[in-house]
Amino acid sequence: MTTESNRTDHAIRHLKCLKPYDGWSADKYMNSQGNELVMLRRRNVSLSKTGYTAIAYDENDSKCVVGVTSLIGETGNTIFYRAVVLVEKDGVVAREQRAVRVSLPKKVVGNTKEQSLNDAKEQNRRNIEKA
């Protein structure tokens, strides 16, 4: 699994924790140049007309979920991207997609508490289905 996929999964998990009944998902597709792009969907409706190289949760600066458009550069542990805000920090879909510069860590570390909570919920669902 690539770093972009990890970033997208982390952003989707964050959105599902923030607004669990909004039906967040990400669709991957290949464009005409052969690049893999991702579109963020809410209730099966795309939030944009174009795809992004990744969907990311900007934990450091804006606390928003963004669509990564291009790489600016990188330093030791940080990568800088140009991005577009898709979902505001309170979980509301951005009315106007504004351009931002985000700095993301090279390694994507998922929230272990969040992950263990999701695992527990999934195990609970399986137990209910078996009963």
DSSP for 16-83?
A: HHHSTTS-EEEEEEE-TTS-EEEEEEETTEES-SS-BSEEEE-TTTT--EEEEEEEEEE-SSEEEEEE
Supply the pTM of this predicted model: 0.75
**For position 18, what pLDDT does the model report?**
87
How far apart, in Å, are the Cα atoms of 17 and each of 49, 113, 115? 25, 11, 10
**How many Cβ atoms from other residues are within 10 Å of residue 53's Cβ?**
19
Q: What is the mean pLDDT of residues 6-33?
A: 89
Please calculate the CA angle 68-14-24 and round it to the nearest 5 degrees. 80
Is 55 in contact with 41 (CB distance < 8 Å)? no
pLDDT higher than threshold 60 for residue 67: yes
Q: What is the mean pLDDT of residues 18-31?
A: 90
Q: What is the mean pLDDT of residues 93-113?
A: 78
The pLDDT tens digits for 80-102 are: 999 999 999 888 899 988 999 99
